[in-house]
Amino acid sequence: MKTAFVLFSGLLFAQAVLAEGGAVSFTGAIVEPACTTTTNSQHAAVQCSQNGVDKVRQIRFNKQQQTLPFQLGNVSVQSSGHIKAVEVIYR
């Protein structure tokens, strides 16, 4: 019985081993809007929506990395003289 099971399970997984190519296609839509940002000289306010609920987080320019509302991603701020670059990375 064990031999038959091993032989049968080997036949089931043989297809996965023999596959050499293919394509995976996804269809759908982005249903949540992107976060919006407003800035002044001291900080940025990032507003994100999820399931119809809005949250705003104040992003301080003197901190290296901070999280977006709803844990949607990270915000980092780099300074070069009087110029600030704000990078948003979504998860």
pLDDT digits (tens, 9 = 90+) for 51-68: 989 999 998 887 778 899
Cα(3)–Cα(17) distance, integer angstroms: 20
pLDDT digits (tens, 9 = 90+) for 5-48: 444 555 555 555 556 778 888 888 877 888 898 888 778 899 99
- pTM > 0.75: no
Cα(4)–Cα(1) distance, integer angstroms: 5
For the chain, give the number of residues: 91
More confident residue, 53 or 81: 53
Q: 76, 90 in Cβ contact below 8 A? A: no
